Structure 1
Amino acid sequence: MTEPLTLLIVEDETLLAEMHAEYIRRMPGFSQIWLAGDLAQARTMIERFKPGLILLDNYLPDGKGLTLLHELTQARYPGGVVFTTAASDMETVSEAVRCGAFDYLIKPVAYERLGQTLMRYQQRRRMLVGKESASQRQIDEMFNAYARGEPKTELPTGIDPLTLNAVQKLFTDPQVQHTAETVARALTISRTTARRYLEYCASHHLIVAQIIHGKVGRPQRIYHG
């Protein structure tokens, strides 16, 4: 199981940076989130905290985010960078891609799109951790998650992709078992909502549902990976 991801948001609009941080805090898999308002602060925080992922604006008071992206590339920085900018010119886009940016989000950033990017980065990170070699299938999955994203799946009404992803992550360890009540507590949602997501996962063979008959009371429905 991978460690929670640390994140640095480099954005000179303080309110916007705080809104990004508030949204990301609601997602599973993130621990510390730091904010930097310019390149100088960003460099200091990167050196001190070594965040696993950086959300990087391009237009900053003391220069361009592309400059920092170049520096990180040259230093072979192990973390990822998601570029967030109002710049949509192909020169900037091409340079960000050449420097290895994981994704490029044009402002104003849609939070659904940001959420998909963060989940894809977490997916790639899990694929890279703890493996000495990889099969072609695993490599294909990693590059799909990196470059093209996951195939879009139409979800039924009442099933949100972020909540669905959070539920699935509770079953990363195959030894873990959950009930609707334990999932509800873990994700701070209602038991009815938890049960809906669990049954969706079970019906799509993402997890296994099992009925346990106790000595007293009603049978209990247990879910495991």
Structure 2
Amino acid sequence: MIRVLIVDDDFMVAKVHAAFVAALDGFEVVGTASTGAQALDEIGRLGPDLVLLDVYLPDMTGLEVLRRLRATGSPVDVVVISAARDVESIRSALHGGVLHYLVKPFDRRTFEDRLRGYAALRGELAALDVTGQGDVDRVFGGTRGGAAAAVVTPKGIAPETLELVRRALGAAAGDGLSASECSERTGLARVSARRYLEQLVAQQEADVRQRYGTAGRPERRFTLRPSAQG
């Protein structure tokens, strides 16, 4: 089992990433951290195999966390997950020995592909004894995935939050959710929850219907399509 620590100052993003990790066979989330200092403490205390590290943290950058880890000789594997796109951040991450650098926003499939690739690399290294050049080339090729493609979503629609709403809708009973119910389950404002629900409908991942009550305006109910459940 690969033990993962998630470092992100946005609790909602950390929650979504934790759900992604938990859904993958062979992975478990052992903790989360929202600051650089907390990340360093938790890495020392928990000894995770893999850290999913954001760059923008309130007390220090994730790159500073990475530098401190390497200065102390920590062997923990690191995947950077950040909106930082500048070359200097990417160069610093490479110098710190990160395995991947995922640029936000990205889709769930890209996230899962990177973690599955990491798991395959660990398995291959564990199985190797004496390596030839072909083995070395294969291992080093496996540590670098293709560039993560940005997800094209309308302005104001964050892929991580869209996934949170998708999961809430998927966990609902057969009658689905109204915007108010989705708001209660996700912590989003009602107007935001409705906008994300409507985006799922626009992407043909959800259906919407009117439910008529005894009085007042009809209620719009959203249900996730089976093909969108993962």
Q: What TM-score do you get using the length of structure 2 for normalisation? A: 0.60
C-alpha offsets along residues 111-141 of structure 1, whole Å, 9 cap, x if unaligned?
A: 2111111011111111222533223222222
| CA distance in structure 2 between the aligned counterparts of 1:79 and 1:122, rounded to whole angstroms | 14
- Cross-structure match for 2:111: 114
Deviation at 1:60, TM superposition (A): 0.6
Structure 1 residues 67-216: aligned runs within 5 Å = 67-129=64-126, 131-148=128-145
Q: Secondary structure at the match of 2:144?
A: helix
What is aligned with 2:51? Answer: 54
- Alignment partners' CA distance in 1, 2:25 and 2:132: 28
Instruction: Give secondary structure in 1 for the equivalent of 2:143.
Output: helix
Counterpart position of 1:65: 62
Inter-partner Cα distance in structure 2 for 1:15 and 1:32: 15
The AA in structure 2 aligned to 1:121 is Y
Asked whether the 8 Å contact 2:21–2:29 carries over to 1, the reply is: no
**Amino acid of the residue matched to residue 25 of structure 1?**
A
For 1:170, the equivalent position in structure 2 comes to none
Render the CA deviation track for 1:174-222: whole Å, top value 9, x for unaligned.
xxxxxxxxxxxxxxxxxxxxxxxxxxxxxxxxxxxxxxxxxxxxxxxxx
Aligned residues: 146
- Give the AA of the match of 2:94: V
User: What letter matches 2:117 in structure 1?
Assistant: R
Secondary structure of 2:81's aligned partner: strand
Unaligned residue ranges in structure 2 (runs of 5+): 147-230
Q: Partner residue of 2:31?
A: 34
Measured after TM superposition, the shift of residue 34 of structure 1 is 1.1
Q: Which moved more, 1:126-135 or 1:33-42?
A: 126-135
1:33 Cα deviation after fit: 3.0
Q: Provide the C-alpha distance between the structure 1 equivalents of 2:33 and 2:78, rounded to a whole number of angstroms.
A: 14
8 Å contact 2:2–2:49 — kept in the other structure?
yes
Residue 19 (structure 2) aligns with: 22
State the shift of 1:30 in Å.
Answer: 0.8
- The answer to whether the 8 Å contact 2:18/2:29 transfers is no
Q: What is the root-mean-square deviation in Å for CA atoms of aligned residues?
A: 1.4
Structure 1 residues 78 and 130: CA distance shift in structure 2, 3 A: farther
- In 2, distance between residues paired with 1:45 and 1:63? 15
Q: State the identity %.
A: 34
